[in-house]
A and B are shown apart, each in its own frame.
Chain A
Amino acid sequence: MRRRDLLRSVAAAGTLALAGCAGSVGRRTQPRVVVVGGGYGGATAAKYLRLFSDARVDVTLVEANSRFVSSPLSNRVIAGELSIADLTVDYDRLHTRHGVILVRDRVTSIDAIGKSIALGHGTRLRYDKLVLSPGIEPIVAPIEGLAAAHAAGRIVFAWSGGPETVALQRQLAAMRDGGVFVITIPESPYRCPPAPYERASLVAAYLQAHKPRSKVLVLDANQDVAAMGPLFKEAWRNLYGDLIEYRNHYSVVGVDGAALTLRFDVQEDVQADVINVLPPVRAAALAADAGLVNVNGRWCEVDFLTFESKVAKDVHVLGDSIQAAPMMPKSGFMANAHAKVAAAAIVAQLDGEPPNPQPMLANTCYAFVAPAQAMHAASVYRFDEARHLFEPIAGTGGASAVPSELEARYALSWARNIWADMLG
């Protein structure tokens, strides 16, 4: 209460907030942590850095968007069940409640030696510790014609919550009854394993209700449904019949945006009315430009005890952009979990203390199969000291037995609770 009451708003980027707090008596300057990215990882990191340090660490959050928009639950916007406003949350409580300095800008470069970052509007921010939670970007170039089709708005990805989510919903709303909606799924790992199948399910529900002669075609580069496979397939059988068709081993090699045709490495071309290509993804360009991407040209390797980059000292990387340990999915929930471990480790390091030797992670992915039916997959991880990584704990985790209305309510409550945990 003391620290929250005494914070004042900050005029310019990079200025330290006044933080009257018993914990900082006697210290003229506090260590500063800059957090880049205000998503599930970055927002959580910013808040928990303040909580775990009792406001003894100054935290600046740099985010390009003015408000947070969730990707989780965005499939329900695509299916016309929710509005994008339902997934949108303000950042201001991070400042008013927790004293995080909010800077709305892009990061153009990172100087890990000099320990500063450059912002789009020209400012430089110095840091003692940098937390990067930059998310992912699509790998478009290998799929011929995709860049052009995407730029023209003919094919959207809708893999980051926001304008493309709305665009895809509009494409579906405008589709004729009897049209075909195709979703292509990349090889694992990608952001949020169950999400493409949830998308197919909810679009099927929408079409069944509004355009019942239409079809959903799921073309999956993977060998099988990458998450909760038996549950999804059974739900499709029970709820949608032959409205959904699933095919595996389909890898997209080219698209024709004008003709709305997909080309595959092996199979015949497929033409559709609405095409949602999910390209393979990799860590966002900012991480690559900073030299932090060192695994397969796609992911950032980190020390799992602290999430510190193995490439750059005092730079911690969270969320989808990291090279995960086996069995660690990429999800918003995981990014939120990474952030807490990283925040505790950073505060300890700034205090000259060793980090917690026994961090834990937990993850829960909720997936809808219909507007009022959802299921989950959960996992709990302990830190294995010998192998220096997170491992699922034997006898824990698992998925739902069946989708249910109860879990649909849990899924919505989960979203509101995690957004409050990140941003409230």
Chain B
Amino acid sequence: MRRVRACPDIRKTRTHWQSVELSARSRALRAALRLVVPYPAMATDQQNSCPSHAAGDVRARSARGLLLAASLIALFGLVAVQARDLGAIAPGPEPANSPVKSLAATCAGCHGTDGIGAQDSAIPPIVGLSPAAFVERMRAFRDGAGNPTIMRQISAGYSEDQIQALAEYFAGIARR
């Protein structure tokens, strides 16, 4: 089995449980940020690289972090900055026991730990997709398109915000 290194997530959280349900305001802000700072190119099966290993991507992520923090403070006044190292150049380790990790673990029973399955698996891996592609695929399942067997029944159990969180989580996982 290929080894996995979790790439740091731009949304750092402390170990305090936070709902993965995003408020409408933060969703709008994130959408706005994507227009300003393009999301780094996602690792594909072939590239096998973690975005955080590339210096440029680290800076891009940190830039997004700075922009996020600045925007939040500017727009909403006093905001509790949850991230440990927003603004740092080198991202710290991802919190291991986060809500999104538990959520992602519910996918692992079929798709493998961190969405990476065994070689030649008929069940596809769920890493290596951009967040938009992941979200689109889950929406297609819920609408009855795509996989004709099981994913419509499973995907219906996850909210839009949970799917968005999973999309970003799995996009951040890369293979070595």
Q: Which residues of A contact B (CB under 8 A)?
A: 1, 4, 22-23, 47-48, 51-54, 56, 93, 97, 333, 336-337, 340-341, 344, 347-348, 351, 353-362, 364, 376, 378, 380-382, 393, 395-398, 400, 404, 406-407, 409-410, 412-414, 416-418, 420-421, 424
Contacts and interface: CB of A to CB of B under 8 A. Distances in A.
A54 B3 CA distance: 15
13 contacts: A48-B105, A54-B93, A340-B106, A347-B96, A353-B15, A354-B17, A376-B149, A380-B154, A396-B154, A412-B122, A413-B117, A417-B108, A417-B117
Contacts of B99: 356, 358
Given A337-B109, A361-B106, A416-B121, 16 more contacts: A22-B93, A23-B93, A341-B102, A348-B97, A380-B156, A380-B157, A380-B158, A393-B156, A396-B154, A396-B156, A396-B157, A398-B153, A414-B109, A414-B110, A418-B109, A421-B108
B123 interface: yes
A347 B110 CA distance: 24
B17 A410 contact: no
A54 B92 CA distance: 13
A413 B122 contact: yes
A94 to B, nearest CB: 12
A361 B97 CA distance: 17
For the residues of B in contact with A, the DSSP-based class is loop
Interface string B121-151: 1110000000000000000000000000110
A382 B157 contact: yes
Contacts of B87: none
Given A340-B105, A420-B118, A414 B1 contact: no
A51 B113 CA distance: 10
A336 B109 contact: yes
Interface in B79-113: 93, 96-97, 99, 101-103, 105-113
B149 A424 contact: no
Contact of A54 (B96, B107, B153, B157): B96
A93 B123 CA distance: 23
A341 B106 CA distance: 9
A364 B118 contact: no
Given A340-B102, A340-B106, A362 B154 contact: yes
Given A410-B123, A413-B118, A420-B117, A364 B110 contact: yes
Given A1-B5, A348-B15, A421 B112 contact: yes
Interface residues of B, number: 35
A407 B150 CA distance: 9
A418 B118 CA distance: 9
Contact of A357 (B17, B103, B110, B113): B17
B156 A333 contact: no
Contact of B121 (A341, A364, A417): A417
B102 A364 contact: no
B96 A52 contact: yes
B117 to A, nearest CB: 4
B71 interface: no
B109 A378 contact: no
A420 B1 contact: yes
Interface string B1-14: 10101000000000
Contacts of A53: 96-97
Given A348-B97, A413-B123, A416-B121, A353 B17 contact: yes
Given A353-B16, A410-B123, A420 B113 contact: yes
B47 interface: no
B17 A348 contact: yes
A185 B117 CA distance: 34
A51 B109 CA distance: 15
A257 B107 CA distance: 45
A180 B123 CA distance: 37
B19 interface: yes
Contacts of A340: 102, 105-106, 108
Contacts of A418: 109-110
Contacts of A347: 96-97
A306 B113 CA distance: 21
Q: Which 9 A-B pairs have the closest CB atoms?
A: A380-B157, A54-B96, A409-B122, A416-B118, A413-B122, A396-B157, A340-B105, A413-B121, A417-B117
Contacts of A93: 1
